[in-house]
């Protein structure tokens, strides 16, 4: 099965694009959803996070305090690496398990932090949802009702547009109307079916 990693910066349109692929009958696996499941109370990954970071990263109800954890790894490369060493292999294992249960010509793997993770997720190709930063900020502000400064800070904490472009095999430039986006997805759908059929 052809594995297409779908990535892009914050508010670039990954969910919008993956929904369009799903509407065409393509299975979608979202690694953000997997990551959230893996840190639920009782999961081994959460226990390992607490072992490393201490119980201050837990809320009173035993759920992971994401904001606290984000604060602990912000600008702390070693701590971020420690978290990745816990999470990435666990995400890959779950991804593989879900892929084993799927039968389709190709599958979309939503991997928002592909560029930041600095690793392969055993994908065959990378599809980038690309937007100029000004538009990304505009959409982020509109969707999340945050300030422009907050949106700029969120972008600055991620890989750059250039770093993402360097990874891409296919690019959807999401600057147009939603109808144009749907058309671009349909074209890629046909392309991936052809690539999958060619083996």
Strands annotated E in 46-194 = 106-110, 125-130, 170-173
Our CB check for ligand ATP shows the closer of 8 and 27 to be: 8
66 vs 43: CA distance, rounded Å: 15
CB 140 to ligand ATP: min, Å: 7
Among the listed ranges 56-64, 66-74, 85-93, 171-179, the one in contact with ligand ATP (CB under 6 A) is 171-179
Among the listed ranges 3-11, 62-70, 90-98, 145-153, the one in contact with ligand ATP (CB under 6 A) is 3-11
Choosing from 108, 151, 155, 181, the residue that interacts with ligand ATP (CB under 6 A) is: 181
Residue 171's contacts (CB-CB under 8 Å, 6 or more residues apart) are 127, 128, 130, 165
Report if residue 11 touches ligand ATP, rule: CB under 6 A. Answer: yes
CB 177 to ligand ATP: min, Å: 6
| Closest-CA residue to 18 (of 119, 92, 163, 128) | 128
Among the listed ranges 5-13, 40-48, 63-71, 85-93, the one in contact with ligand ATP (CB under 6 A) is 5-13
**b/e map 69-106, b = 16+ CB within 10 Å:** beebbeeeeeeeebbbebbbebbbebbeeebeeeeebb
Among the listed ranges 12-20, 41-49, 86-94, 97-105, the one in contact with ligand ATP (CB under 6 A) is 12-20
Report if residue 98 touches ligand ATP, rule: CB under 6 A. Answer: no
Question: Which residue shows structure tokens 């816990």?
Answer: 86
DSSP state of 105: S
Binding-site string for ligand ATP from residue 129 to residue 158, where x marks contact by CB under 6 A and - marks none: ----------x---x---------------
> Interface residues for ligand ATP in 108-127 (CB under 6 A)?
112
| Closest-CA residue to 120 (of 152, 145, 96, 140) | 96
Residues that bind ligand ATP (CB under 6 A): 8, 10-16, 112, 139, 143, 174, 176, 178, 181
């Amino acid at each position: 099965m052809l594995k297409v990693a779908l990535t892009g910066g914050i508010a670039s349109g990954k969910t919008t694009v993956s929904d369009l692929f799903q509407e065409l009958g393509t299975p979608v696996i979202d690694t953000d959803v997997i990551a959230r499941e893996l840190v639920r109370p009782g999961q081994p990954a959460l226990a390992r996070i607490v072992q490393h970071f201490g119980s201050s990263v837990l809320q009173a109800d035993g759920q992971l305090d994401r904001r606290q954890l984000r604060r602990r790894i912000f600008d702390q490369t070693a701590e971020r690496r420690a978290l990745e060493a816990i999470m990435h292999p666990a995400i890959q294992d779950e991804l593989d398990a879900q892929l084993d249960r799927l039968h389709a010509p190709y599958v979309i793997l939503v991997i928002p932090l592909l560029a930041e993770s600095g690793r392969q997720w055993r994908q065959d190709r990378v599809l980038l949802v690309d937007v100029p930063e000004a538009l990304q900020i505009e959409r982020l502000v509109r969707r999340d009702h945050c300030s422009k400064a907050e949106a700029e800070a969120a972008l600055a904490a991620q890989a750059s547009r250039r770093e993402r472009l360097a990874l891409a095999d296919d690019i959807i430039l999401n600057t147009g109307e939603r109808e144009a986006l749907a058309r671009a997805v349909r074209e890629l759908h046909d392309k991936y079916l052809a690539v999958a059929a060619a083996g």
